[in-house]
Amino acid sequence: MKWRLVITPKVQETLRTFPPETKRYVRRALEEIVKDPWIGKPLRDELIGFHSFRARRFRIVYRMERRVITVVVVGIGPRETIYEAVKAGLA
């Protein structure tokens, strides 16, 4: 089963600001997520239904839409701030 990757416009905007090396390892992490979306850690509490995957010092927060076989990336950022940003809808 081939999963489709959807990156929200806000996350695309954020990715454009990253240095080239960071973009490379984030891209590799996204490839891993698309191969196996369950690779990420399931989140709890307010972020139930989302998963997090570590890409060096960044976290990629995403959700799976199983009916349409899609992985939707809703946030990429440093561990210290990304979870609060996703909760606030800012990521």
Q: Looking at the 3D structure of the chain, how many domains does it have?
A: 1
Q: In this structure, what CATH number is given to the domain that contains residue 73?
A: 3.30.2310.20
> pLDDT digits over 26-65, tens only?
999 999 999 999 999 999 999 999 999 999 999 999 999 9
pTM of the predicted structure, to 2 decimals: 0.93
Could you give the CA distance from residue 17 to residue 36 in angstroms, rounded to a whole number? 27
Which amino acid type is present at position 81? T
Torsion over CA: 81, 90, 59, 18 (sign)? negative
> pLDDT digits over 66-75, tens only?
999 999 999 9
* Statement: residue 90 has pLDDT above 60: no
Domain ranges, residue 53: 4-88
